Amino acid sequence: MAEIPVSPFAPARFPALPAVAGVAAATAAAGVRYKGREDVLLTTLPRGSTVAGTFTRNTMPGAPVDWSRRHVAQGKARALVVNTGNANVFTGKAGAKAVRDTAEAAAKLLGCRPAEVFVASTGVIGEPLPAERILAVLGDLARAQAPADWQRVANAIRTTDTFAKGAGRIARIGQREVAIAGVAKGSGMIQPDMATMLAFVFTDARLPADVLRGLLRPAVDDSFNAITVDSDTSTSDTVLLFATGQVPLPRAIARAGDPLLRDFRAKLLEVCQELAQQIVRDGEGAQKFVEIRVGGAASKAAARRIGLAVANSPLVKTAIAGADANWGRVVMAVGKSGEKADRDRLSIRMGGVTIAERGYPHPDYREEQVRPHMRGREILIEVDVGIGTGSATVWTCDLTHGYISINGDYRS
Amino acid sequence: MAEIPVSPFAPARFPALPAVAGVAAATAAAGVRYKGREDVLLTTLPRGSTVAGTFTRNTMPGAPVDWSRRHVAQGKARALVVNTGNANVFTGKAGAKAVRDTAEAAAKLLGCRPAEVFVASTGVIGEPLPAERILAVLGDLARAQAPADWQRVANAIRTTDTFAKGAGRIARIGQREVAIAGVAKGSGMIQPDMATMLAFVFTDARLPADVLRGLLRPAVDDSFNAITVDSDTSTSDTVLLFATGQVPLPRAIARAGDPLLRDFRAKLLEVCQELAQQIVRDGEGAQKFVEIRVGGAASKAAARRIGLAVANSPLVKTAIAGADANWGRVVMAVGKSGEKADRDRLSIRMGGVTIAERGYPHPDYREEQVRPHMRGREILIEVDVGIGTGSATVWTCDLTHGYISINGDYRS
């Protein structure tokens, strides 16, 4: 397979992420699939750390997803092991054993229970995971634990991502400042299989697991669940939120809706959105970043489904690739979503220009008005479906020859 | 926009279709959008003709779909008017008036009610239909009515289809022979908007409208509803089945399940499947024709949804374009369908070769075994999801650079 060109959205440098008290990490080149690249990450957390997670809804999940989903329910975390090169998907009992062996080995080294060790894998499907290569480096990784170098962590979980992805914020909880830092990978292609989205977010705030769960769900809904590159859902998608508890809070917090968490909720959402948008900006073959704002829907969920129908439409995505303000395809995509929408009240704007209003092309609209916008890198499409007050924003990229080349080149 | 290359599946000649007693037609170049190409079809049917139809589920249907859907309920038909070049979609009240004017003009010429005139349009979205250009040729078309020349009819409804589509059969109903002939268009691109699927099937059997309805639904489910090119659903998709009643049957038939209709049902399905498959074979950029057979599902409907999830997956479609037997992507697509499936009983075959069985790669499988098949034009993927006895077959094409070029070229 030919080298994948670096995304035009790759940042000049990895962003500055805050240190998160208690999070240590080390990486190694274990040769899981390829020689000479870092492919195993061990992150460790202090006693008392909590965790929440969300996972792929694909009904063919990999063995690591089975493991992590099962154990996230108890809310305690001491370690995270991530490997690239092999997704450990469709690997039967041997795959489940590989995860268990890895978790048990890490637990032994760290003096915790295997259920407190979370595992994520990304890479080829249907080949046995050579767990022994991971086990062979775990001892060194445990000894090498040091405060997380986020760029190195982000790099170790890359596969064919064309840039490392990270985002961080400082949030205030009362008078306390707490750190939030996250890394992600995704939308690069794991030759010869599929893209996987992994994201790990860490904070040093002292938050119980059920509060983390309540914080993570809405943040994920408005970030990772609001992006799409090609509508395909990996069997390995995993988002984990860890809290080390190293920063005590002004008072105990028992629910995610606590007013004291207002700034934390906002900053967590910003971190998740930045990571999610970086994934789209590194979408396979992406040349344009597309924001789709849907309003006037029956509910927020309906608005998101309409947005994703537009974002996943190959005809919309190819039109954007061609700098074509083809709003007829947007009409079609809204209609194919199946969500309630009023054809005779539908409005569409691109780049801030009203193109169609109340079910009819706007009389003043001329294509020249949006042409400069459509030729740019950042495309904005706004749709009002004229039914209610539900709104949502989703992000995607265009569908280009690059996508076909990356995914359709003959596997030699 | 550059010339679209002719599909590699284009047949050497238009197929031989039987005459259907009572069906007359004429075509004209009305200049609806382009000069010098036939773009209006008037088909007329004798008194007593019946009709059944199915239409797009897109919630933004065009005005012709509104009209035809409303009037198909009464089951009587005397004419069909089809234009290309303008889909009359998202055209507000003016669009509805254009359809009504057309139907009323045709009705006046033919001495029937406007509700017996069916209308279908395909082409650009969001531009007013110049109905006066259609009205201007209707008189000539009415006078020129002659037994349908199917190739000419099929050509008149083409847009950027790279070949004309038709299929026909003779069916036996008791000792009687009746003709079935159908034409279709689709999956060619209407610059600058979207592909639309139109199909019109005619028979001379004397069948009441409610029997036609009962015959059409299952035939459409296993043909037009079992194909996909790119998952996008046009706002204009229309399938109409007309019966002229010129061939009396051995006895009156009151229901579609009548044993006397066994051969007719089979032949109607064959005609619909041939037309549907021709649409896929002319799919934008198609280089390979793909049949996906799903078995072991909870129901037939579940099997079809799983098949369509595989058929619509950009990662599966690009892998096929690259002659890559990338079965991991098939696993992913089955899982993303959300339908019940047992990961640990899933089996996958390509080109008749067992690749994965009961949730694990088959130990004897070597990629070389399927390489010749994957390099061919006709690809067969079989999936058993290990849950029940539901099965279905769907058809699609690969996703190639040609698709991007056709749909993403900058509109000048």
Q: Which residues 6+ apart lie within 8 Å of B178 measured at CB?
A: B170, B171, B172, B203, B204, B205, B247, B264
Where is B172: in which H helix or E strand? Answer: strand B165-173
Per-residue model confidence (pLDDT) at position A47? 97
Per-residue model confidence (pLDDT) at position B189? 45
User: Considering only CA atoms, which of A264, A278, A190, A262 is closest in space to residue A14?
Assistant: A278
Structure confidence at residue A187 as a pLDDT band (50, 70, 90): low
- Spatial strand order in the sheet of B146-147: B117-124, B79-86, B40-44, B24-28, B146-147
Per-residue model confidence (pLDDT) at position B191? 36
Facing residue for A326 by CB, picked from B193, B335, B399: B193
Facing residue for A230 by CB, picked from B314, B343, B409: B314
Q: Angle at Cα A252 formed by Cα A249 and Cα A257, nearest 5°?
A: 95
Decide if B199 contacts B164 (C-beta within 8 A). Answer: no
The answer, yes or no, to whether residue A76 has pLDDT greater than 90, is yes
**Chain A residue closest to B284 (CA)?**
A315
Facing residue for A319 by CB, picked from B89, B356, B407: B407
Most A CBs within 10 A among B336, B379, B398, hence the mutation to make, goes to B336
A77: distance to nearest CA of chain B, Å? 28
List Cα–Cα distances, B203 to A22, A182, B53, B142, B241, in angstroms: 77, 64, 14, 21, 8
Q: What interface predicted TM-score (ipTM) does this complex get?
A: 0.90
Decide if B202 contacts B247 (C-beta within 8 A). Answer: no
Strand, helix or coil at B388?
A: coil
Per-residue model confidence (pLDDT) at position B295? 98
Where is B393: in which H helix or E strand? Answer: strand B390-397
Instruction: For A30-41, write each residue's pLDDT tens digit.
Output: 999 989 899 999
Maximum separation of any 2 CA atoms in chain B, in Å: 71
A400 catalytic residue (yes or no) = no
Q: Which of B196, B203, B228, B396 is catalytic?
A: B196
Question: What DSSP letter does each residue of B13-44 carry, written as one string?
Answer: SPPP----TT-EEEEE---SSSTTS--EEEEE
Per-residue model confidence (pLDDT) at position B187? 67
A176: distance to nearest CA of chain B, Å? 42
Per-residue model confidence (pLDDT) at position B188? 52
The predicted model gives A236-255 an average pLDDT of: 95
The chain-wide mean pLDDT, for chain A, equals: 93
What amino acid occupies position B245? Answer: G
Higher confidence at residue B5 or residue A373? Answer: A373
Distance of CA A167 to the CA centre of its chain: 12
Facing residue for B335 by CB, picked from A60, A340, A360: A60
Beta strand A40-44 with A79-86: parallel, antiparallel or unpaired?
antiparallel
A14: distance to nearest CA of chain B, Å? 29
Decide if B281 contacts B7 (C-beta within 8 A). Answer: yes
Residues A24-281: name the CATH superfamily: L-amino peptidase D-ALA esterase/amidase (3.60.70.12)
Strand, helix or coil at B353?
A: strand
Facing residue for B90 by CB, picked from A315, A321, A331: A331
**B333 in contact with chain A, both atoms CB, cutoff 8 A:** yes
Q: Does domain B289-408 have CATH number 1.10.3720.10?
A: no
Structure confidence at residue A230 as a pLDDT band (50, 70, 90): confident
User: Considering only CA atoms, which of B383, B315, B311, B303 is closest in space to residue B340?
Assistant: B303
Per-residue model confidence (pLDDT) at position A406? 86
The answer, yes or no, to whether residue A2 has pLDDT greater than 80, is no
User: Considering only CA atoms, which of A381, A399, A115 is closest in space to residue A285?
Assistant: A399
B350: distance to nearest CA of chain A, Å? 16
- The CA distance from A215 to A208, in Å, is 11
List Cα–Cα distances, B384 to B121, B140, B294, B345, B391, in angstroms: 40, 56, 6, 8, 9
Q: Looking at beta carbons, which residues of chain B come within 8 Å of A314? A: 230-232, 314, 399, 403, 407
Strand spans (E) along B195-237: 198-205, 227-228
B361 vs A403: CB contact, 8 Å cut-off?
Answer: no
How many inter-chain contacts (A to B, CB under 8 Å) are there? Answer: 219
List Cα–Cα distances, A149 to A22, A28, A39, A239, B34, in angstroms: 13, 13, 15, 20, 63
B334 vs A61: CB contact, 8 Å cut-off?
Answer: no
Structure tokens at A182: 């996250």
Q: Which of A50, A160, A196, A203 is catalytic?
A: A196
The predicted model gives A168-187 an average pLDDT of: 95
Where is B146: in which H helix or E strand? Answer: strand B146-147
Work out the angle between the directed axes of helices A327-336 and A300-312 (0-180°, nearest 10): 130
**A372 in contact with chain B, both atoms CB, cutoff 8 A:** no
Facing residue for A322 by CB, picked from B360, B399, B411: B411
- The CA distance from A329 to A338, in Å, is 15
Decide if B311 contacts B286 (C-beta within 8 A). Answer: no
A327: distance to nearest CA of chain B, Å? 9
Per-residue model confidence (pLDDT) at position A192? 34
Strand, helix or coil at B251?
A: coil
Rg from Cα positions in chain B: 22
User: Considering only CA atoms, which of B247, B248, B264 is closest in space to residue B256?
Assistant: B264
Per-residue model confidence (pLDDT) at position A188? 53
Q: Which residues 6+ apart lie within 8 Å of B352 measured at CB?
A: B373, B380
What amino acid occupies position A28? Answer: A
Structure confidence at residue A57 as a pLDDT band (50, 70, 90): confident
Where is B360: in which H helix or E strand? Answer: strand B360-361
Per-residue model confidence (pLDDT) at position B224? 92
Q: Looking at beta carbons, which residues of chain B come within 8 Å of A334? A: 59-60
Structure tokens at A185: 């990978």
The predicted model gives A162-190 an average pLDDT of: 90
User: Considering only CA atoms, which of A237, A241, A240, A218 is closest in space to residue A229?
Assistant: A237
A361 vs B193: CB contact, 8 Å cut-off?
Answer: no
**B237 in contact with chain A, both atoms CB, cutoff 8 A:** no
Q: Looking at beta carbons, which residues of chain B come within 8 Å of A340? A: 59
Q: What is the pLDDT along chain B (412 residues), one digit of tens a residue?
A: 457 789 999 999 999 999 999 999 999 999 999 898 999 999 999 999 999 999 998 889 999 999 999 999 999 999 999 999 999 999 999 999 999 999 999 999 999 999 999 999 998 888 999 999 999 999 999 999 999 999 999 999 998 899 999 999 999 999 999 999 999 998 654 333 445 789 999 999 999 999 999 999 999 999 999 998 888 878 889 999 999 999 999 999 999 999 999 999 999 999 999 999 999 999 989 999 999 999 999 999 999 999 999 999 999 999 999 999 999 999 999 998 989 999 999 999 999 999 999 988 999 999 999 999 999 999 999 999 999 999 999 999 999 999 999 888 745 3
Most B CBs within 10 A among A88, A97, A191, A232, hence the mutation to make, goes to A232
List Cα–Cα distances, B320 to A28, B307, B360, in angstroms: 35, 15, 21
B322 vs A401: CB contact, 8 Å cut-off?
Answer: no
Q: Which residues 6+ apart lie within 8 Å of A61 measured at CB?
A: A55, A69, A89, A235, A236, B335, B343
Instruction: Report the 10 Å Cβ neighbour count for B336.
Output: 23
- The CA distance from B153 to B146, in Å, is 11
Maximum separation of any 2 CA atoms in chain A, in Å: 71
Most B CBs within 10 A among A332, A367, A370, hence the mutation to make, goes to A332
| Of A198-202, A223-227, B230-234, B366-370, the least confident | B230-234
Structure confidence at residue A44 as a pLDDT band (50, 70, 90): very high
A331 vs B57: CB contact, 8 Å cut-off?
Answer: no
Structure confidence at residue A193 as a pLDDT band (50, 70, 90): very low
Per-residue model confidence (pLDDT) at position A139? 98
Per-residue model confidence (pLDDT) at position A103? 98
**Chain A residue closest to B191 (CA)?**
A326
A90 vs B127: CB contact, 8 Å cut-off?
Answer: no
Mind spelling out the 3-state secondary structure of chain A? CCCCCCCCCCCCCCCCCCCCCCCEEEEECCCCCCCCCCCEEEEECCCCCEEEEEECCCCCCCHHHHHHHHHHCCCECCEEEEEEEECCCCCHHHHHHHHHHHHHHHHHHHCCCHHHEEEEEEEECCCCCCHHHHHHHHHHHHHCCEECCHHHHHHHCCCCCCCCEEEEEEEEECCEEEEEEEEEECCCCCCCCCCCCEEEEEEEECCCHHHHHHHHHHHHHCCHHHEECCCCCCCCCEEEEEEEEEECCCCCCCCCCCHHHHHHHHHHHHHHHHHHHHHHHCCCCCCCEEEEEEEEECCHHHHHHHHHHHHHCHHHHHHHHCCCCCHHHHHHHHHHCCCCCCHHHCEEEECCEEEEECCEECCCCCHHHCHHHHCCCEEEEEEECCCCCEEEEEEEECCCHHHHHHHHCCCC
Facing residue for A344 by CB, picked from B92, B344, B360: B92
Q: Looking at beta carbons, which residues of chain B come within 8 Å of A126? A: 327-328, 331, 356, 361
B399 vs A404: CB contact, 8 Å cut-off?
Answer: yes
- The CA distance from A269 to A262, in Å, is 11
Instruction: For A97-145, write each residue's pLDDT tens digit.
Output: 999 999 999 999 999 999 999 999 998 888 999 999 999 999 999 999 9
Work out the angle between the directed axes of helices A131-143 and A92-110 (0-180°, nearest 10): 10
Partner A, chain B 59-118, Cβ-Cβ below 8 Å:
59-61, 89-92
Domain ranges of chain A: 24-281, 289-408
Instruction: For A287-328, write each residue's pLDDT tens digit.
Output: 999 999 999 999 999 999 999 999 999 999 999 999 999 999
